[in-house]
Amino acid sequence: MNEIPTTAASQGAEDPREAQPARWDKGESHPPIVENGEPLPGEVEVVVDEEDGEGYLVAAEPPEVFWKTIEDGEAYAEADDPLARTRAVLDDESAYLEIYRTVLAACAAPGGAKTPDLAAAVDGHPLVQSPRLYVQHFLKKLEDAGAIRWEGAWVAGSVAADVLAELDAKQAASASKAQGEGVLR
């Protein structure tokens, strides 16, 4: 179950049920739930603080509200495949596999990689001189594919290790093939 936490207070609503973004009462979404999956309680517990012989109402902490995705949302999330998107980028731009490997390896390092460091490693490379490409081109493609993300530095996503392993295997196969061709001559 994919859940998106929200609180009624953050939505500026008095009643947590007024904060919903969808019309769940018309069947377009699931009703709001609390963390254990139970429906959001309709009644809020009233707490009275007895102090100096007088009772004061105490503002209760609103429950954390979750929304369960509808079937279309679950299907979309299940179909999301950053590994396939990254492979498609690498297939489309196979001439730049060495550059993509450099960028991914730097982003996979602890703490990620800053743009100036990536630019220093990529922008002077002979492969990107004609046509002229800059590191931002590769960062944008990898970010859109879901292979990297920005967190104060460019960091590798969950698919980066698989992609790097595939690139290393391709590089090893190419080197082995080139070595074999040299022996046959």
Same domain, 14 and 54: yes
Q: Which of 23, 46, 78 is the last residue of a domain?
A: 78
pLDDT at 90 (0 to 100): 96
- Which residues 6+ apart lie within 8 Å of 103 measured at CB? 113, 118, 121, 122, 135, 138, 139, 142, 148, 154
pLDDT at 69: 78
* Mean of the per-residue pLDDT values of the chain: 81
- The reply to whether 121 and 159 lie within a common domain is yes
At 140, which CATH number?
A: 1.10.10
Q: Are residues 128 and 104 in the same domain?
A: yes
> Looking at the structure, do residues 178 and 87 belong to the same domain, yes or no?
yes
Indicate if 146 and 166 belong to the same structural domain: yes
Confidence band, pLDDT 50/70/90 cuts, at residue 6: very low
The pair of three-digit structure tokens given for residue 58, joined into one six-digit string: 């105490």
Packing angle of the helix pair 160-184, 82-92 (nearest 10 deg): 40
What confidence score (pLDDT) does residue 76 get?
85
151-177: pLDDT as tens digits: 999 999 999 999 999 999 988 888 888
Domain around 95: 82-184
Residue range 85-104: average pLDDT?
A: 96
68 with 146, same domain?
Answer: no
Are 180 and 90 within one domain? yes
- Is 8 within 8 Å of 18 (Cβ atoms)? yes
- Of 46, 78, 110, the last residue of a domain is 78
How far is 154 from 86, CA to CA, in rounded Å?
A: 16
pLDDT at position 73 over 90? no
Looking at the fold, whether 7 and 72 belong to one and the same domain comes out as: yes
Identify the bridge partners of residue 65 per DSSP, sorted by sequence position: 6
Task: Among 49, 78, 107, give the residue marking a domain's end.
Answer: 78
The three state secondary structure string of the chain is: CCEEEEEHHHHCCCCHHHHCCCCHHHCCCCCCECCCCCECCCCCCCEEEEECCEEEEECCCCCEEEEECCHHHHHHHHHCCHHHHHHHHHHHCHHHHHHHHHHHHHHHCCCCECHHHHHHHHCCCHHHECCECCHHHHHHHHHHHCCEEECCCEEECCCHHHHHHHHHHHHHHHHHHHHHHHHHC
Residues 129 and 100 in one domain: yes
Residue range 2-23: mean pLDDT, rounded: 47
Provide the domain count of the chain.
Answer: 2
Task: Answer yes or no: do 57 and 95 share one domain.
Answer: no
- Indicate whether 172 and 96 sit together in one domain: yes
Give the model's confidence band at 148: pLDDT under 50 very low, under 70 low, under 90 confident, else very high: very high
36 with 103, same domain: the answer is no
Q: What is the pLDDT of residue 88?
A: 96
pTM higher than 0.85: no
